[in-house]
Amino acid sequence: MSTAPAAPVFSPEDLVRELDARRQTDGCSVALANGCFDLLHPGHLSFLEGAAQEADVLVVGTAGGGLALVARDADGLTIESIEAISFPVWLFRVQAQGGEEVVIEPAAATMMPQLADLQLPAGELEPFHSEEEGVTAVPETIPLETARGWLEQRGQGHLTETALVRLPLWRCQYSFEGDTYQVLVDASTGAVMAAVFPEKAESPYYLVAGLGLVLFAIEGLAITNPVVKFVAYAITAVPLVLLAYWVARKI
């Protein structure tokens, strides 16, 4: 079986020189794909394959530090700790009317309800080694009988397989405006889970709502023709919706 040669790794300075040389000799086009590939999964491969088709040369940039956290409008946010953990879940394979289904239930107490909605990473499961350096193993505290009881209550089908599986997660603690928050990041998909988020400022939303009420009230009192009033309402609603969308994006 033949394998493709490994791609070279460049420092930023060497990469600039290499690309300049190639453009001068070949006139080649360049595509850039950047991400945090701490656990490579099929979505990453599809992304990189698509990027490679867009140009003659594909440059892949990787975020360092194992976990890339990007926060929008995060002035005053301080990341206090990032910890790699393995979280236990009970895996159930059930035979339902539509075919086989995989259901997971937390095997340890958690404040993150989104854990029950996670999908197992594509590919084969690998044995867990509790002595893996730098990874904290969360102990199982929910008995198998309890998790089976949840499954039976929902009546999801005939149980065919049961297993204890550990999911790779990042546990991040950060502070924002004097309060401390915690999030979990699925290390295989990048999905972010949190029980409590920092609250958004409410006054801009009240201002948009108040502005809409005032405009509609003025039009309702000033215009007597129902057709003209309806048209005026529709015209006024457009900038209000756009303003509300802008506020939602910025706040």
Q: Give the tens place of pLDDT for each residue, 11-20.
A: 767 777 887 8
The overall average pLDDT reported for the chain is: 76
- 3-state SS track over 43-72: HHHHHHHHHHCCCCEEEEEECCCCCCCCCC
Confidence of residue 132 (pLDDT cuts 50, 70, 90): low
* Alpha carbon separation from 121 to 39, 41, 61, 68 (Å, rounded): 10, 8, 23, 19
pLDDT value at residue 2? 40
**What are the pLDDT digits (tens) for 59-86?**
877 654 444 444 544 556 677 788 888 8
End-to-end Cα, the chain, rounded Å: 54
**What are the pLDDT digits (tens) for 211-229?**
888 999 998 889 989 899 8
Mean pLDDT of 21-38: 72
**What are the pLDDT digits (tens) for 148-165?**
888 888 777 788 888 888
Domain boundaries, the chain: 12-62, 77-193, 203-250
pLDDT value at residue 79? 74
Of 250, 78, 41, 65, whose CA–CA distance to 179 is shortest?
Answer: 78
Mean pLDDT of 137-149: 89
> Does the pTM of the predicted model rise above 0.85?
no
Instruction: Give Cβ neighbours of residue 10 (< 8 Å, ≥ 6 apart).
Output: 18
